[in-house]
Structure 1
Amino acid sequence: MSKNILLLETVADEAMQLLEAAENIQILKGFDETTLLHYISTERIDAIITRGKGQVRTDLMDKLTHLRVISRCGVGLDNIDVSEATKRNIKVVNAPNSNADTIAEHTIAILLMLQRNLYNAITMVKENRWADRGTYIGDESHGKTLGIIGMGNIGRKVAKIGTSLGMNVVYWSAKKEEVPYPFLDFDALLSTSDSISLHLPLTPQTENLLNASAFSKMKSNALLVNTARGGIINQKELYSALQNKKIAGFAADVLAQEPPDTNDPLLQLDNVLITAHLGSLTKTTYTKMCTMTVDNTLAILAGAQPMANCIYNRNELSTN
């Protein structure tokens, strides 16, 4: 019997080719609301594949009584109600560790851009303001303390790169890990670190973890980097901390609201550097995330064994 896979978003060409070549698989492209509602009401859906925008919550699961698999082409699962899927014996699949290298690189890249004030320095030249080099202020990372919040796959890679740059790495995580870096309690990490990098999933426990209270404990010259999830930071209180020089700068690939409002005051600050949630969008990583997810989805539907650790049915998400 043919199985129906509902795509909520496009996937990499290589992943699409795998789907099209699979036997007894019908691909349903629910990219717009009208088409999505049509498929939901007329077709038996066996699996859903999404990237990050497509939301899979209780209301959708209620309508898809034959759903066996919900797959995310990525690592974070905050767009899927994992707990509800678990209750219904629906397998939740992600692409574990697929983006760790590229997110670690992106983290260090924007940290260095912020630390050395390179984004303003580049703009200076493009605007024909070479003479303004006398006003340039930047600093190096060597010898500074890098505090990592969340020592999972990505946190470990960021720590390794930071160490190679001559930074002193410390960390806080939900539990102590077997890593060669000092574990500090949360407040001690905030007060000790010159730069802080976030590598946690967004859960009820981590939402607004970085708030006015946390900013008040940080050094006034501290830099904050977020390539995890925007909701981990209270964005209004972050803006206040930056505007009032409680902390020195912020670089991120994620925001609480994406895309942000065009008049978002955070974007107007000259000590803020934001990229458009594209840390994983290198061709290599994007293709790997999509093909890995499709391979595992097809294996499960065929009754075969998927790769280890790709099925993620737990009520709480672990550190990525």
Structure 2
Amino acid sequence: MISEGINLKTQPFTTNPMNKNILLLETVADDAMQMLENATDMNILTAYDEASLNHQLENYAIDAIITRGKGQVRESLMEQLPNLKVISRCGVGLDNIDVSSATKKGIKVVNAPNSNADTIAEHTIALLLMLQRNLYNAVSMVKDNRWVDRGSYIGDESHGKTLGIIGMGNIGKKVAKIATALGMHVVYWSSKKEDVPYSFVEFNQLLNTSDSISLHLPLTSKTENLINASAFSKMKPSALLINTARGGIIDQKELLIALNDKKIAGFAADVLAQEPPNENDPLLQLDNVLVTAHLGSLTKTTYTKMCTMTVENTLAILRNEQPMANCIFNRKELGIS
């Protein structure tokens, strides 16, 4: 049963007091919403704005929250929800959820592990190739009726170059596989050595030797501003930097300086430290910068997969059934084997 968060005060409630209450902070894919609508043992509440959220908190004991990337679930919200058992994110990264506070309160934090690895890997390589070959300018040249400018075109191929991957998790591994197929030499640095056919190198060595560097780390207190002035000073002047992880991993002020001072040759990303960026952000005015609007996972296939996987596991937990393996992010801290 669904109770819309918009104009709730003028609409009759259709909730069942015997059901568990799931609160949506954002919309989900149609297939996932259909799964929720079919869950007759659940009340589905929506709160897409602050007024709706306050109304739902005042009227219902919330058992689970489902969000995507914008809906924030901090300790202050958890404090108002004594019945809360599950916080679920339709995605992989969890920086919009206070996992530490949830864990202390015994609340399960659910995500969709590995659900976006293929599409983010593809997006990473697409950005790399567009930047390396200067394709975005090349396409604009023709669209702007500047065919004669082809004589001034400058681009290069990736074959034979070294790709340094920072973070060899699920996405990093897939990026490495595609890059290898393109004829690139792959090295990596990660928090631990992985069982992969690529060379593990120290962080500074990766910065010194890589022609392109791709980031695949979560945003934590340890990785925030990991790519800073010191890191830029160690990169090749011809290096390209790709970020499809989290914007905060890069010190954006130092990135702008590095690009303007030609300490690196180019930057491509699907994420920024501030999203959306300011309209007059000087970074976006540079010809050697390519940014997409944090849409790497928003293909129809992956978006649906992330949402349905998350909904399915949330329902399973609320029904005391077994969810998929590893979907509970804080399972070890909660003593779940």
Structure-1-length-normalised TM-score: 0.98
Map of 1:53-64 to 2, 5 A cutoff? 53-64=70-81
- 1:78 is paired with a residue whose SS is coil
Q: Runs of 4 or more off by more than 2 Å in structure 1? A: none
Per the TM alignment, residue 314 of structure 1 is displaced from its structure 2 partner at its CA by 6.8
Per the TM alignment, residue 57 of structure 1 is displaced from its structure 2 partner at its CA by 0.4
Aligned equivalent of 1:256: 273
Q: Which amino acid letter does the alignment assign opposite residue 286 of structure 1?
A: Y
Specify the structure having the higher radius of gyration (Cα): 2
User: How far apart, in 2, do the equivalents of 1:237 and 1:167 lie?
Assistant: 28
- 2:267 is paired with a residue whose SS is strand
Map of 1:73-92 to 2, 5 A cutoff? 73-92=90-109
Aligned equivalent of 2:133: 116
Aligned equivalent of 1:210: 227
Aligned equivalent of 2:250: 233
Return 5+ residue gaps in structure 1 as ranges.
none
Q: Give the counterpart of 2:88 among 71, 74, 87.
A: 71
Aligned equivalent of 2:11: none
**Residues 108 and 331 in structure 2, CA contact (< 8 A), matched pair in contact too:** no
User: How far apart, in 1, do the equivalents of 2:68 and 2:282 lie?
Assistant: 29
User: How far apart, in 2, do the equivalents of 1:40 and 1:164 lie?
Assistant: 52
**Residues 70 and 91 in structure 1, CA contact (< 8 A), matched pair in contact too:** yes
Per the TM alignment, residue 215 of structure 1 is displaced from its structure 2 partner at its CA by 0.3
Per the TM alignment, residue 23 of structure 1 is displaced from its structure 2 partner at its CA by 2.4
Alignment partner of 1:224 is 2:230? no
User: How far apart, in 2, do the equivalents of 1:177 and 1:213 lie?
Assistant: 26
**Residues 8 and 49 in structure 1, CA contact (< 8 A), matched pair in contact too:** yes
**Residues 236 and 264 in structure 2, CA contact (< 8 A), matched pair in contact too:** yes
Map of 1:155-194 to 2, 5 A cutoff? 155-194=172-211
Residues 75-112 of structure 1, C-alpha deviations (whole Å, 9 max, x = no match) = 00000010110000000000000000000000000100
Q: Give the counterpart of 2:114 among 97, 105, 109.
A: 97
Aligned equivalent of 1:131: 148
Aligned equivalent of 1:34: 51
RMSD between superposed Cα atoms in Å: 1.0
**Residues 149 and 198 in structure 1, CA contact (< 8 A), matched pair in contact too:** yes
User: How far apart, in 2, do the equivalents of 1:23 and 1:178 lie?
Assistant: 45
Residues 239-259 of structure 1, C-alpha deviations (whole Å, 9 max, x = no match) = 000011000000000000000
Percent identity at matched positions? 78
**Residues 29 and 307 in structure 2, CA contact (< 8 A), matched pair in contact too:** yes
User: How far apart, in 2, do the equivalents of 1:89 and 1:27 lie?
Assistant: 22
Aligned equivalent of 1:147: 164
Per the TM alignment, residue 42 of structure 1 is displaced from its structure 2 partner at its CA by 1.6
**Residues 6 and 29 in structure 1, CA contact (< 8 A), matched pair in contact too:** yes
- 1:121 is paired with a residue whose SS is helix
**Residues 82 and 315 in structure 1, CA contact (< 8 A), matched pair in contact too:** no
- 1:134 is paired with a residue whose SS is helix
**Residues 82 and 314 in structure 1, CA contact (< 8 A), matched pair in contact too:** no
Q: Which amino acid letter does the alignment assign opposite residue 46 of structure 1?
A: D
Pairs aligned (count): 316
User: How far apart, in 2, do the equivalents of 1:142 and 1:206 lie?
Assistant: 30
- 2:199 is paired with a residue whose SS is coil
Return 5+ residue gaps in structure 2 as ranges.
1-17
Residues 164-211 of structure 1, C-alpha deviations (whole Å, 9 max, x = no match) = 000000000001111010000000000010000000000000000001
User: How far apart, in 2, do the equivalents of 1:6 and 1:236 lie?
Assistant: 38
User: How far apart, in 2, do the equivalents of 1:56 and 1:103 lie?
Assistant: 24
Structure-2-length-normalised TM-score: 0.93
Residues 227-277 of structure 1, C-alpha deviations (whole Å, 9 max, x = no match) = 000000000000000011000000000000000000111000000000000
Q: Which amino acid letter does the alignment assign opposite residue 155 of structure 2?
A: G
User: How far apart, in 2, do the equivalents of 1:8 and 1:227 lie?
Assistant: 24
- 1:109 is paired with a residue whose SS is helix
Alignment partner of 1:4 is 2:21? yes
Q: Which amino acid letter does the alignment assign opposite residue 320 of structure 2?
A: G
Aligned equivalent of 1:268: 285
Q: Which amino acid letter does the alignment assign opposite residue 213 of structure 1?
A: S
- 1:63 is paired with a residue whose SS is coil
Per the TM alignment, residue 315 of structure 1 is displaced from its structure 2 partner at its CA by 9.7
Per the TM alignment, residue 16 of structure 1 is displaced from its structure 2 partner at its CA by 0.2
Q: Which amino acid letter does the alignment assign opposite residue 264 of structure 1?
A: D
User: How far apart, in 1, do the equivalents of 2:249 and 2:57 lie?
Assistant: 33
Residues 146-181 of structure 1, C-alpha deviations (whole Å, 9 max, x = no match) = 000000000000000000000000000001111010
**Residues 24 and 47 in structure 2, CA contact (< 8 A), matched pair in contact too:** yes
